[in-house]
Amino acid sequence: MKNLPELFGCKVFNDKVMKERLPRDIYRSLKSTLAGERLDPAIADTVAKAMGDWAVENGATHFTHWFQPMTGTTAEKHEGFIQRDGASGVIMEFSGKNLVSGEADASSFPSGGLRATFEARGYSAWDPTSYAFIKDDTLCIPTAFCSYRGESLDKKTPLLRSMEALSREALRILRLFGDTETSHVMAECGPEQEYFLIDKEAFEKRPDLVYCGRTLFGARPPKGQEMDDHYYGQIKPRVFSFMQDLDEELWKLGILAKTEHNEVAPAQHELAPIFGTANLATDHNQLTMEMMKKVAARHGLACLLHEKPFAGINGSGKHDNWSLSTDTGRNLLKPGKTPSQNAQFLLFLTAIIKAVDENQDLLRISVSSAGNDHRLGGNEAPPSIISIFVGDDLMALLEDIMAGAKPEDRPRTKLNIGASVLPEFPQDSTDRNRTSPFAFTGNKFEFRMPGSSDSIACPNMILNTIIAQTLSEFADELEKSKHFHEDLNELIHRTLIDHRRILFNGNNYSEEWVKEAEKRGLSRFDSTVDALAHYTDEKNAKMFDRLGVLSPAEIASRQEVLLENYSKTILIEALTMIDLTRKDIAPAVLNYESALLEERQRKALFPGTISTKLEDALLERIAALSELLSVRLSTLEADVVRAKEVEGSVAIAAFYRETVFSDMAELRAAVDELESTVSRKYWPFPTYAEILNSVK
For residue 660, count other CB atoms closer than 10 A to its CB.
Answer: 22
- pLDDT bin (cut points 50, 70, 90) of residue 511 is confident
**What is the per-residue pLDDT for 182?**
95
Top-tier CATH class for 566-692: mainly alpha
Least confident of 39-48, 417-426, 585-594: 417-426
**What is the per-residue pLDDT for 415?**
46
Phi-psi region of 583 (alpha: psi -120 to 50; beta: other; left: phi over 0): alpha
Least confident of 56-60, 227-231, 630-634: 227-231
Of the ranges 311-325, 408-422, 600-614, the best mean pLDDT one: 311-325
Question: Side-chain half-sphere of 23: how many Cα atoms within 13 Å?
Answer: 9
**What is the per-residue pLDDT for 430?**
56
Q: What is the DSSP letter of 75?
A: B
The end-to-end CA distance of the chain, in Å, is 24
When the pLDDT of each residue in the chain is averaged and rounded to a whole number, the result is 90
* CA–CA dist 547, 538 (Å, integer): 14
Question: Do residues 161 and 549 touch, judged by C-beta distance below 8 A?
Answer: yes
- pLDDT bin (cut points 50, 70, 90) of residue 34 is low
Q: What is the pLDDT of residues 357-392, one digit of tens each?
A: 999 999 999 999 999 999 886 556 667 899 999 998
Partners of 325 in beta bridges:
186, 331
Domain segments of the chain: what residues? 4-154, 162-417+426-550, 566-692
Among residues 264, 522, 234, the alpha carbon closest in space to that of 381 is found at 264
**What is the per-residue pLDDT for 3?**
82
Q: Is the pLDDT of residue 86 over 80?
A: no
- Furthest-apart CA atoms within the chain: distance in Å: 104
Q: Is the pLDDT of residue 19 over 80?
A: yes
* CA–CA dist 24, 540 (Å, integer): 44
Among residues 240, 242, 231, 254, the alpha carbon closest in space to that of 292 is found at 242
Among residues 529, 554, 534, 557, the alpha carbon closest in space to that of 544 is found at 554
Q: What is the DSSP letter of 43?
A: G
Partners of 223 in beta bridges:
none
Share of the chain above pLDDT 70, in %: 91
* CA–CA dist 395, 679 (Å, integer): 57
Q: DSSP string spanning 93-118? A: ---HHHHHEEEEE-TTS--TTSS-TT
Least confident of 75-84, 133-142, 434-443, 452-461: 75-84
3-state secondary structure of 186: strand
Q: Is the pLDDT of residue 591 over 70?
A: yes
Residue 139: phi and psi, rounded to 5, are -75, 115
Taking each helix axis from N to C end, the angle separating 278-298 and 237-252, rounded to the nearest 10 degrees, works out to: 140
**What is the per-residue pLDDT for 280?**
95
Question: Do residues 331 and 492 touch, judged by C-beta distance below 8 A?
Answer: no
**What is the per-residue pLDDT for 87?**
62
**What is the per-residue pLDDT for 490?**
94
Question: Do residues 559 and 645 touch, judged by C-beta distance below 8 A?
Answer: no
Q: What is the pLDDT of residues 36-72, one digit of tens each?
A: 677 777 888 999 999 999 999 999 999 999 999 888 8
CATH code for residues 162-417+426-550: 3.30.590.10
Q: In this structure, which topology does domain 4-154 adopt according to CATH?
A: Ubiquitin-like (UB roll) (3.10.20)
> CA dist 250 to 15, 22, 243, 285, Å?
18, 26, 10, 10
pTM of the entire structure?
A: 0.93
Q: In the predicted model, what is the mean pLDDT of residues 593-610?
A: 83
3-state secondary structure of 147: strand
Question: Do residues 124 and 139 touch, judged by C-beta distance below 8 A?
Answer: no
Q: Is the pLDDT of residue 195 over 90?
A: yes
Least confident of 423-437, 501-515, 630-644: 423-437
- pLDDT bin (cut points 50, 70, 90) of residue 433 is low
Q: What is the pLDDT of residues 644-662, one digit of tens each?
A: 999 999 999 999 999 999 9
* CA–CA dist 696, 687 (Å, integer): 16
Among residues 352, 568, 644, 385, the alpha carbon closest in space to that of 471 is found at 352
Give me Rg for the CA atoms of the chain. Answer: 28
Phi-psi region of 245 (alpha: psi -120 to 50; beta: other; left: phi over 0): alpha
Long-range own/partner contacts, residues 96-101 (CB < 8 A, 24 or more apart): 96/41, 96/44, 96/45, 96/46, 96/47, 96/48, 97/44, 98/48, 98/63, 99/44, 99/47, 99/48, 99/51, 99/126, 99/141, 100/41, 100/44, 100/125, 100/126, 101/125, 101/126
Residue that wins the pLDDT comparison between 510 and 11: 11
Question: Do residues 95 and 120 touch, judged by C-beta distance below 8 A?
Answer: no
Least confident of 168-172, 199-203, 322-326, 597-601: 597-601
Q: Is the pLDDT of residue 180 over 80?
A: yes
For residue 31, count other CB atoms closer than 10 A to its CB.
Answer: 15
Q: Is the pLDDT of residue 429 over 70?
A: no
Question: Do residues 266 and 50 touch, judged by C-beta distance below 8 A?
Answer: no
Q: What is the pLDDT of residues 267-314, one digit of tens each?
A: 999 999 998 999 999 999 999 999 999 999 999 999 999 999 999 998
* CA–CA dist 401, 135 (Å, integer): 53
User: Counting beta carbons within 10 angstroms of the beta carbon of residue 259, is it exposed (0 to 12), middle (13 to 18) or buried (19 or more)?
Assistant: exposed
* CA–CA dist 302, 293 (Å, integer): 7
- pLDDT bin (cut points 50, 70, 90) of residue 119 is low
Among residues 213, 162, 210, 216, the alpha carbon closest in space to that of 189 is found at 162
**What is the per-residue pLDDT for 117?**
56
User: Which H/E stretch holds residue 274?
Assistant: none
